[in-house]
């Protein structure tokens, strides 16, 4: 008794395998080029779940507008060796990390310009070591999409609950290197 197998066996040649590998490599290169050319778009907004996780805190207190408008201008700067970071002037110089004093209800406009060579972002926090909990409505850029050298941004908000807050660079590590100042609401 003999058994015959009449099924067709598909085989390929090394040339066809090479063509397939070239096509797959081309798809990877084109996909990578699209992904990295749109990098600013991919990181510009946090995932929707991040917004759902935020909670209302005592710093979200809304104050009645007092009619006073306070403009503040800050510049991100670095020392030549990048070990010291600051606002407006390096430590020991006049204007270094100026204290900002406002009253609850004052409208504050902060303009921050990146005059340094690194990436920076701005925010007001209750704890300068906790750069993730920026008081809502006080951020300029973000650690995931910072201001590039030469760029600037501004934010306008009404000062809320009285207390001592801190304005910092929200890029991880920058506040600890000196990029922080007092923001006092009376």
- What phi-psi label fits residue 67: left (phi over 0), alpha (psi between -120 and 50 degrees) or beta? left
Shared domain for 78 and 145, answered yes or no, is: yes
Report how many domains make up the chain.
2
Shared domain for 37 and 83, answered yes or no, is: no
Write the CB contacts of 18 (distance below 8 Å, at least 6 apart in sequence): none
Considering the chain, what is the average pLDDT of its residues? 86
Q: Kindly state whether residue 52 falls inside one of the protein's structural domains.
A: no
Pinpoint the alpha helices (H) of the chain. Answer: 14-37, 39-44, 48-53
Write the CB contacts of 66 (distance below 8 Å, at least 6 apart in sequence): 103, 104, 105, 106, 107
Q: Which domain holds residue 91?
A: 66-185
Q: Kindly state whether residue 2 falls inside one of the protein's structural domains.
A: no
Shared domain for 32 and 84, answered yes or no, is: no
The predicted-structure confidence for 16-57, as pLDDT tens digits, reads as follows 999 999 999 999 999 999 888 887 666 655 555 555 555 545
Shared domain for 34 and 123, answered yes or no, is: no
Shared domain for 27 and 95, answered yes or no, is: no
Residues 79/118/152/51 CA torsion (nearest 10 deg): -130
Shared domain for 27 and 70, answered yes or no, is: no
Q: Mean pLDDT across the stretch 140-158?
A: 92
Q: Are 181 and 100 in contact (CB under 8 A)?
A: yes
Shared domain for 81 and 111, answered yes or no, is: yes
Within 10 angstroms of residue 106's Cβ, the number of other Cβ atoms is 19
Within 10 angstroms of residue 87's Cβ, the number of other Cβ atoms is 24
Q: Kindly state whether residue 1 falls inside one of the protein's structural domains.
A: no
pLDDT band at 164, cuts 50/70/90? very high
The predicted-structure confidence for 51-86, as pLDDT tens digits, reads as follows 555 554 555 556 777 788 999 999 999 998 888 999
Q: Are 106 and 68 in contact (CB under 8 A)?
A: yes
Shared domain for 108 and 170, answered yes or no, is: yes
Q: Kindly state whether residue 138 falls inside one of the protein's structural domains.
A: yes
Shared domain for 166 and 91, answered yes or no, is: yes
Shared domain for 21 and 112, answered yes or no, is: no
pLDDT of residue 153: 95
pLDDT of residue 41: 66
pLDDT of residue 140: 93
Does residue 99 register a pLDDT over 90? yes
Q: Kindly state whether residue 6 falls inside one of the protein's structural domains.
A: no
Shared domain for 87 and 165, answered yes or no, is: yes
């Amino acid at each position: 008794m003999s058994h015959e197998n009449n099924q067709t066996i598909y085989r390929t040649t090394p040339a066809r395998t090479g063509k397939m590998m070239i096509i797959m490599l081309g798809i990877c290169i084109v996909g990578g080029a699209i992904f990295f050319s749109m990098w600013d778009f991919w990181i510009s907004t946090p995932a929707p779940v991040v917004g759902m996780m935020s909670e209302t805190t005592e710093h979200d207190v809304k104050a009645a507008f007092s009619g006073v408008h306070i403009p503040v201008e800050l510049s991100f700067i670095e020392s030549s060796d990048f070990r010291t970071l600051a606002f407006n002037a390096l430590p020991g110089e006049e204007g270094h990390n100026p204290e900002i004093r406002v009253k609850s209800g004052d409208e504050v406009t902060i303009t921050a310009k990146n005059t340094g060579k690194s990436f920076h972002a701005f925010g007001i926090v209750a704890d300068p070591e906790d750069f993730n909990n920026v008081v809502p409505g006080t951020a300029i850029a973000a650690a995931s999409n910072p201001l590039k050298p030469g760029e600037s941004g501004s934010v306008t908000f009404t000062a809320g609950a009285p207390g001592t807050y801190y304005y910092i660079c929200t890029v991880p590590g920058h506040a600890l290197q000196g990029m922080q100042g007092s923001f006092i609401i009376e």
